[in-house]
Amino acid sequence: MDTFAIREMTLGRILDETAAKFPDNDAVVYVDRDYRQTYREFVSVVDDLARGLMALGVKRGDKVALWATNVPYWVALQFATAKIGAVLLTVNTNYRESELRYLLEQSECENLFIMDGFRDHDFVQTIYQVIPELRMQPRGQLRCEGLPHLKRVMFLGAEKHRGMYSVPEIVSLGVMVSDEEFRQRQDELDPYDVVNMQYTSGTTGFPKGVMLTHVGIGNNGYWIGRNQGFTEKDRVCLPVPLFHCFGCVLGVMAAINHGAALVILENFNPMHVMASVDQEKCTALYGVPTMFLAVLEHKLFDRFDFSSLRTGIMAGSVCPEPLMRRVIEKMNMREITICYGLTEGSPVMTQTLVDDSLERRVQTVGRAMPGIEVRIVDPETNEEVPHGTPGEVVCRGYNVMKGYYNMPEATAKAVDGDGWLHSGDLGIMDEHGYVRITGRIKDMIIRGGENIYPREIEEFLYGMEGVQDVQVVGVPSRKYGEEVGAFIIPKEGYDLAPEDVRDHCRGRISWYKVPRHIAFVSEFPMTASAKIQKYKLREMAAELFPDAMK
């Protein structure tokens, strides 16, 4: 492993250096629309967009919200905004009117890019509802009563919509910006400037805008790629949302730092994933566990060639050991890695390495990333606990966010006075520095004074025949405070009953860990980034098992 040194570079400089080294290598590829750009072509598109935005009046520090799926212009805008010192504000594609309004208002956003829509949601009509002034006011002179900071709205395409600039129009305006002005803007930038804002999923309370820097996501992306052994010969299949750190940092920044090709899917579809890997001979594949499971379980799985795969990342939620083994054996991903972190940490703080033992790669989330300190502390005292002792996972380093936008109190709760970012996750670190995540602090079940970690029971139940997926949560109990509840997705063809599950557990795990309440479901509630929403399962459990409170 190389000796760590912070690379004090802007994202624009990282891209330019890579393009200078590998100008004719593929940079961005979309299999479903025969879209392919070399690094030379990609930088040209980025610079044209950047100049156009400058010509429109986008200033250093301005926010540019991007509400779109993984369309081709997404990654170009990630670097175009970075080159002119603007802050890319990623918008969850599942947002509706009230959520979008909140984000634009709370972030004091000046600029907004949108696409036409996603699934059954018409983004254009929603924008006219949120900003009715768009239909009446000249472009460039927007004055919105409810969103006083918003200056302009732009459409990701050639179509013209009242009050909005189209991409061709923005690019054509770029001729107004000279080479000298463009260079000067880039020279003014500080690598420690905020370059990206992402709003936490908001599973509890109001979403918070996480401010991330060039140095934070640039260095994190570099080491994520380095830990996978990325070179300019790698081709990364990316079916995860770009609005999430998994997409725009673990995916985009890891690839761009090393000259690898990005094979992007606009939306996750197991058939498109398999076709992309096969056709483009991808060497790496990213996804959350449910995505890998969908590929493995697809009826046409055996018709595609996965022999080119070598590595990739499974992250975003608990990675079951049996699933990891299937991915390694059936998809040829012998060097797959696990990443762990949170958006506030740019996002990765620990990662397994390609040469870690299989046991460590399926049972831990690896060790601290270079340049980042990771500790396990007592949640009550913040004192570091001995190896092998459960506690809260915290980290400190270049990766820690600058804070939550306009939320100093929330920032102070997340990052303590000594610079440690508190994850809210429970974990154990062994004597070699490998971390095992045992659950969320608020996910921990306390039954009659006994602390129960859902992850432990989930891992046990994954070994039961007929169980495809499982999530364990606490169910309110008048007698014990909480009881163990299990939500199980059975494998096709299996007719499981609650007693079957309990029989599997009895005598094999501690009696108080045996699920008292069991429900069989076809799917789990998910966030747009495919994370399982345990708080919703807890709400469902309280409704499904009301007798527990009697």
pLDDT tens digit sequence for 153-188 = 999 999 999 999 999 999 999 999 999 999 999 999
Closest CA to 105 of 117, 113, 97: 97
In a domain, 12, yes or no: no
Tell me what pLDDT residue 550 has: 62
Residues 409 and 392 sit within 8 Å (Cβ to Cβ)? no
Q: What CATH number is given to the structural domain containing 414?
A: 3.40.50.12780
393 and 450 part of one domain: no
Tell me what pLDDT residue 479 has: 80
> Could you report the per-residue pLDDT of 197-251, keeping only the tens digit for each?
999 854 345 789 999 999 999 999 999 999 999 999 999 999 999 999 999 999 9
Supply φ then ψ for residue 438, to 5 degrees: -105, -10
- In the chain, what percentage of residues exceed pLDDT 90? 81
165 and 224 part of one domain: no
Averaged pLDDT for residues 427-444: 90
> Domain range spanning residue 425?
209-440
Token digits for 119?
A: 């699934």
In a domain, 329, yes or no: yes
Averaged pLDDT for residues 291-303: 95
166 and 217 part of one domain: no
What count of Cα atoms within 13 Å lies in the side-chain half-sphere of residue 68?
Answer: 24
State whether residue 301 is helix, strand or coil. helix
> Could you report the per-residue pLDDT of 353-402, keeping only the tens digit for each?
999 998 898 889 999 999 999 999 999 899 999 999 999 999 999 999 99
Residues 163 and 189 sit within 8 Å (Cβ to Cβ)? no
Q: How confident is the model at residue 2 (pLDDT cuts 50, 70, 90)?
A: low
In a domain, 113, yes or no: yes
Tell me what pLDDT residue 546 has: 85
Q: Which of 157, 189, 221 corresponds to the end of one domain?
A: 189
Q: Which of 407, 440, 473 corresponds to the end of one domain?
A: 440
For the chain, the straight-line distance linking the first and the last C-alpha, in angstroms and rounded, comes to: 58
Tell me what pLDDT residue 351 has: 97
Q: How far apart are CA 7 and CA 222, in angstroms?
A: 9
- As a whole number, the mean pLDDT across the chain is 94
Tell me what pLDDT residue 322 has: 86
Averaged pLDDT for residues 443-447: 83
In a domain, 343, yes or no: yes
Per DSSP bridges, beta strands 194-199 and 35-38 are unpaired
Strand partners, 212: 196
416 and 462 part of one domain: no
419 and 274 part of one domain: yes
DSSP classification of residue 3: P
Q: How far apart are CA 463 and CA 470, in angstroms?
A: 11
Q: How far apart are CA 141 and CA 132, in angstroms?
A: 14
141 and 220 part of one domain: no
In a domain, 13, yes or no: no
Number of domains in the chain: 3
Q: How far apart are CA 272 and CA 300, in angstroms?
A: 11
342 and 324 part of one domain: yes
> Could you report the per-residue pLDDT of 524-549, keeping only the tens digit for each?
998 877 888 888 898 899 889 887 66
Q: Is 541 exposed, middle or buried (0-12, 13-18, 19+ CB in 10 A)?
A: buried
State whether residue 73 is helix, strand or coil. helix
CA–centroid distance for 356 within its chain: 24
In a domain, 9, yes or no: no
For residue 111, give the H/E element and its range. Answer: strand 111-114
Angle at 245 between CA 240 and CA 247, to 5 degrees: 30
Q: How confident is the model at residue 510 (pLDDT cuts 50, 70, 90)?
A: confident
Could you list the beta-strand ranges (E) of 331-464: 335-341, 348-351, 367-368, 372-377, 391-397, 403-404, 421-429, 435-440, 445-447, 450-452
Q: What CATH number is given to the structural domain containing 527?
A: 3.30.300.30
Residue showing tokens 């998910």:
526
Token digits for 42?
A: 């990609």
How do the residues of the chain divide into helix, strand and coil, expressed in percent and rounded to 5?
35, 25, 40
Closest CA to 195 of 81, 90, 111, 110: 81
Q: How far apart are CA 380 and CA 246, in angstroms?
A: 31
Q: How far apart are CA 281 and CA 264, in angstroms?
A: 13
Strand partners, 114: 67, 155
Q: What CATH number is given to the structural domain containing 94?
A: 3.40.50.980
Residues 350 and 374 sit within 8 Å (Cβ to Cβ)? yes
In a domain, 200, yes or no: no
315 and 377 part of one domain: yes
Q: How far apart are CA 518 and CA 523, in angstroms?
A: 14
Q: Which of 381, 410, 440 corresponds to the end of one domain?
A: 440
283 and 139 part of one domain: no
In a domain, 332, yes or no: yes
Tell me what pLDDT residue 13 has: 98
342 and 410 part of one domain: yes
Could you list the beta-strand ranges (E) of 398-480: 403-404, 421-429, 435-440, 445-447, 450-452, 467-477
140 and 63 part of one domain: yes
Q: How far apart are CA 4 and CA 381, in angstroms?
A: 31
Q: How far apart are CA 289 and CA 294, in angstroms?
A: 9
Question: Minimum mean pLDDT among 183-192, 318-327, 419-428: which range?
Answer: 318-327
Kindly tell me if the per-residue pLDDT of 255 is higher than 50. Answer: yes
**Which residues touch 250 (CB under 8 Å, ≥6 apart)?**
221, 224, 286, 313, 315, 339, 347, 348
185 and 308 part of one domain: no
State whether residue 264 is helix, strand or coil. strand
Q: How confident is the model at residue 455 (pLDDT cuts 50, 70, 90)?
A: confident
Closest CA to 369 of 395, 402, 389: 395
Strand partners, 341: 348
Could you list the beta-strand ranges (E) of 228-360: 235-238, 261-264, 284-287, 311-314, 335-341, 348-351
> Could you report the per-residue pLDDT of 36-91, keeping only the tens digit for each?
999 999 999 999 999 999 999 999 999 999 999 999 999 999 999 999 999 999 99
- Give the strands of the sheet with 391-397, arranged side by side: 372-377, 391-397, 421-429, 435-440
